[in-house]
Amino acid sequence: MPRKLGIVMDPIEGINIKKDSSFAMLLEVQRREWEIFYILVNGLHLQDGQVLANAQSLTVFDDAQKWYELADKETVDLGSLDVVLMRKDPPFDMEYIYVTYLLELASKQGVLVVNRPDSLRDCNEKLYTAWFPQCCAPTLVSRKLSDFITFLSEQEDIVIKPLDGMGGKSIFTVHAQDRNRNVVFETLTDHEQRFAMAQRYIPEIKEGDKRILLIDGEPVPYALARIPSDQDARGNLAAGASAQGIELSDRDQWICQQIGPELKDRGLIFVGIDVIGEYLTEINVTSPTCIRELDAIYQLNIAVIYLMSLRTN
């Protein structure tokens, strides 16, 4: 009897299949003849203790002209599925948190939810790095402008970013003599009403912001180095960075050894960490990407490893 998998994601008509990790997962699920149910956030609802979804049976094609086909909507009890993949992109707002509550209830009714909903709530992709200070460059999280001014004076060059962004959104590099520093701090903290994160600027960003994928706590042996363009300091593909595959360094492997067991314990089965030079900068747990790029460069099938890990969880 085929297994049943639900995937909560952004609208499938808007994805780029050459870069979309959720799509890579779906292709492999389909090869295994699992039944796939496509679910949007606005289709989830709770009634009398049951978590239900207005879902559609999904067929996918590795074809840039036609990559999906959807059946009519039907009501599906999430507790009747074998696996639910939570692959909704941020923003990580209250609506996202409400979804994790619904998925946590579904998981208590027997379905495996990946990544684990309570860990999605607990492990902020920026702040969670603080649990591994031995892996990180000097870091400050605060709302106070005076704290950022002092930190900038100590570090001379810093990167500052919001705690809820993705894809390089609102990331600033600030230098000690930058006359715009105060307005940057005011903007990101909303005049001391919101927390922001500052990290010491790591010059090795010029060699790339390395995305390393960990599956059930174990790293894929290659990383995707996202190299900033000449016009932008950010190592994000969405900000125009170019991609290059590289083998993990000894330091990369050590960082993975430091954090891998904790990720596994928290049910964070598929995670993408960001490493610049020798330092961990982010731990991406919501909907990490780069499967398709690494597959193409190294003739891998990372989704196979991922799906095999689900059998042991």
Domains along the sequence of the chain with CATH:
4-118 (3.40.50.20), 138-201 (3.30.1490.20), 204-304 (3.30.470.20)
What is the rounded radius of gyration, in angstroms, for the C-alpha atoms of the chain?
20
Distance between CA 148 and CA 154 in Å, rounded?
A: 10
Q: What predicted TM-score, i.e. pTM, was given to this entire model?
A: 0.94
Question: pLDDT value at position 235?
Answer: 67
Q: 191-209 burial by CB neighbour count: b if 16+ within 10 A, else e?
A: eeeebbbbbbbbeebebbb
Question: pLDDT value at position 15?
Answer: 97
CA dihedral 295, 299, 303, 308 (to 10 degrees): -150
Question: pLDDT value at position 164?
Answer: 87
Question: pLDDT value at position 257?
Answer: 98
| pLDDT by 10-residue block (mean), the chain, 313 residues | 90 97 98 97 97 98 97 97 96 93 96 97 96 98 98 97 83 94 97 98 95 98 92 71 94 98 98 98 96 97 95 79
Distance between CA 295 and CA 107 in Å, rounded?
A: 30
> Contact at 8 Å (CB) between 227 and 235?
yes
Question: pLDDT value at position 166?
Answer: 75
Sheet bearing 196-200, strands edge to edge = 139-142, 196-200, 157-162, 172-175
CB atoms within 10 A of CB 107: 20
Helix (H) or strand (E) holding 280: strand 279-284
Q: Which residues are catalytic?
A: 126, 161, 211, 226, 234, 274, 282, 284
Distance between CA 155 and CA 117 in Å, rounded?
A: 36
